[in-house]
């Protein structure tokens, strides 16, 4: 069981890499950084799907536009100028 959980942990780290935060320490900045990294990861997946022909350019654009709006909303709710 331990080997399986290690494998899943390694796979999760590979698929969803996280970088440490080096900026000014404020809770809202940390939350926004996590949101930004998630946004970046999702954009990467969408671009790869579109490049490989699994997603049309229009669908990719719509999904990216939605993610962008969500990121802007999160920034506004966190009070980051």
Q: Per residue in 9-44, pLDDT tens?
A: 777 777 666 778 788 889 999 999 999 999 999 999
Q: Given a cut of 90, is residue 53 above it in pLDDT?
A: yes
- Which sequence spans correspond to the domains of the chain? 25-81
The DSSP string of 7-75 is HHHHHHHHHS------S---HHHHHHHHHHHHHHHHHHHHHHHHHTTSS-HHHHHHHHHHHHHHHHHHH
User: What sign has the CA pseudo-torsion 77, 78, 79, 81?
Assistant: negative
Say what the pTM is.
Answer: 0.76
Residue with tokens 């990861």: 41
User: pLDDT at position 1, please?
Assistant: 52
User: pLDDT at position 8, please?
Assistant: 77
User: pLDDT at position 7, please?
Assistant: 77
- The two three-digit tokens of residue 29, written as one number: 């900045």
């Amino acid at each position: 069981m331990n080997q399986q959980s290690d494998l899943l942990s390694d796979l999760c780290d590979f698929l969803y890499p996280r970088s440490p935060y080096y900026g000014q320490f404020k809770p809202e900045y940390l939350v926004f950084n996590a949101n930004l990294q998630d946004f970046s990861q999702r954009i990467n997946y969408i671009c790869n799907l579109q490049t490989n022909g699994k997603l049309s350019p229009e669908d990719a654009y719509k999904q990216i536009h939605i993610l962008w709006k969500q990121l802007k909303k999160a920034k506004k709710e966190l009070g980051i100028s």
